[in-house]
């Protein structure tokens, strides 16, 4: 007898400006994302095979996911989910979220949390990342830009896994969204949940 089990992965992203003395919490994005199934399947196998790779390492931010014309109409590009070398369209910044890595400068606020409820057939990975006031360097002072194609007006986001070194990271998720500006006057929090779920269990004859 062969026990067959289907595994599904899905992701959801929530981005918001962090509340402070001048601003209330403001939800900027709350949507599902696309999974790069080839890279995800390899990452899952490498992680379960204890090969010291395949785990989520960093969150990448880009500004190449949309085109905004002179009238303000936004055209959304499709997410990049084909080919092992897939990347963001135009990556502008990244943040290490692997809290066990020495390269993570703030593991308290940039980390991975595993959440599982006994008896359930799914487990969540919550990837938490914060872009502090001074990140990225070179951003504008205030979040009031009218240029929706600006360098730090992000419209794409992805998670990348460790494959041995920083030059061989693999994209496992990609979400295209409306332009969101990161400026010096705001802290931005990203909560990125990946749910891994066993769908069915079937027993068949060999």
Mean pLDDT of 108-129: 96
The rounded percent of the chain whose pLDDT value lies above 70 is: 94
Q: What percent of the chain has pLDDT over 90?
A: 83
Buried b (16+ CB within 10 A) or exposed e, 39-48: bbebbbebbe
Which letter does DSSP use for residue 179 in this model? E
Q: What is the pLDDT of residue 4?
A: 60
Whether 1 has a pLDDT exceeding 70, the answer reads no
Q: Which H or E run contains 45?
A: helix 37-48
In the chain, domain spans: 2-204
pLDDT digit string (tens) for 48-59?
999 999 999 999
Distance CA 176, CA 60 (A): 12
Strand, coil or helix: what is 187?
coil
Which sign, positive or negative, has the C-alpha torsion 135, 162, 84, 78?
negative
Give the residue from 44, 7, 12 showing the smallest Cα distance to 126: 12
Q: Residue 78 has what DSSP assignment? A: P
pLDDT of 206: 44
* Structural tokens at position 164: 């041995």
Which tens digits make up the pLDDT trace of 80-102?
A: 999 999 999 999 999 999 999 99
pLDDT, tens digit, 9 for 90 and up, residues 141-175? 999 988 888 899 999 999 999 999 999 999 999 99
So what's the pLDDT on residue 198?
85
CB count within 10 Å of CB 170 equals: 23
Determine the pLDDT at residue 22: 80
């Amino acid at each position: 007898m062969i026990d067959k089990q289907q595994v599904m992965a899905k992701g959801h992203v929530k981005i918001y400006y962090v509340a402070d003395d001048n601003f209330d919490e403001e939800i900027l994005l709350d949507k599902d994302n696309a999974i790069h199934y080839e890279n995800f399947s390899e990452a899952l196998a490498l992680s379960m095979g204890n090969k010291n790779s395949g785990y989520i390492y960093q969150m990448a931010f880009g500004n190449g996911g949309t085109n905004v014309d002179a009238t303000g109409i936004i055209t959304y590009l499709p997410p990049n989910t084909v080919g092992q070398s897939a990347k963001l369209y135009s990556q502008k910044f990244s943040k290490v979220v692997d809290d066990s890595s020495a390269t993570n400068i703030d593991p308290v606020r940039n980390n991975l949390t595993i959440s599982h409820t006994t008896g359930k057939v799914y487990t969540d990975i919550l990837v938490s990342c914060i872009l502090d006031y001074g990140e990225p360097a070179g951003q504008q002072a205030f979040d009031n830009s009218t240029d929706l194609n600006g360098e730090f007006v992000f419209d794409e986001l992805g998670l990348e896994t460790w494959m041995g070194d920083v030059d061989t990271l693999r994209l496992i998720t990609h979400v295209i969204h409306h332009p969101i500006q990161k400026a010096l006057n705001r802290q931005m929090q990203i909560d990125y949940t990946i749910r891994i779920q066993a769908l069915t269990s079937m027993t068949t004859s060999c």
